[in-house]
Amino acid sequence: MTDQTIILKSVITCPRCGHTETEMMPTDSCQWFYECRSCKSVLKPKEGDCCVFCSYATVPCPPIQTGNSCCG
């Protein structure tokens, strides 16, 4: 079994205004809401995604990175 490096930082992009922000992802819970620091829109996961990082960021959340289900 090999150790897999989990990436904890991800760049999230607001679909409304295009603002990007590097954020630290939680390792013990899903993040269902995220407020854009630029336009103040509240992002929610797209249908079928478990969290805002899986929907709008460059790196999926830690549970998905390891092949597990998120918040399951």
pTM: 0.85
pLDDT digits (tens, 9 = 90+) for 57-68: 999 999 888 887
Element (H, E) at 56: helix 52-56
Mean pLDDT (10-residue bins), the chain, 72 residues: 78 98 89 96 95 95 83 56
What element of type H or E holds 9?
strand 9-13
What is the DSSP secondary structure assignment for residue 69, as one 8-state letter? P
